[in-house]
């Protein structure tokens, strides 16, 4: 989320600044990285359920730790309205 905000990526508003309370940092993780990213916690899962466009690999980008293992990942941003 911080990387997206710092680079003005459209669709990542991060209204709660990473507090896992707004879901305005919604992203879609590609299938080949789904098992590599930070595991989904219960509070994130609960918040994602409020989205009408939740997908199988939906995540809140503020809950994803950027590591070398994510090198090459291509993330989709569904909230581009």
Which of 32/45 has CB closer to ligand FES?
Answer: 45
> Binding to ligand FES (CB under 6 A): which residues in 31-70?
60, 62
- The verdict on 79 binding ligand FES (CB under 6 A) reads no
Concatenating the DSSP letter of every residue in the chain gives -HHHHHTT-TT---TTTTSSSS-TTEEE--GGGTTTSPPPPHHHHHHHTT-TT--TTEEEGGGPPP-GGGTT---B-----
- The verdict on 1 binding ligand FES (CB under 6 A) reads yes
* Interface size with ligand FES, residues (CB under 6 A): 14
């Amino acid at each position: 989320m911080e990387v997206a905000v710092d680079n003005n990526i459209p669709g990542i508003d991060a209204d709660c600044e990473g507090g896992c309370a707004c879901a305005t940092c919604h992203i879609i993780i590609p299938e080949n990285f789904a098992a590599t990213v930070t595991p989904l916690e219960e509070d994130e899962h609960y918040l994602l359920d409020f989205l009408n466009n939740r997908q199988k690999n939906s995540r809140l980008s503020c809950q994803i730790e950027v590591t070398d293992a994510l090198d090459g990942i291509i993330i989709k941003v569904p909230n581009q309205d």
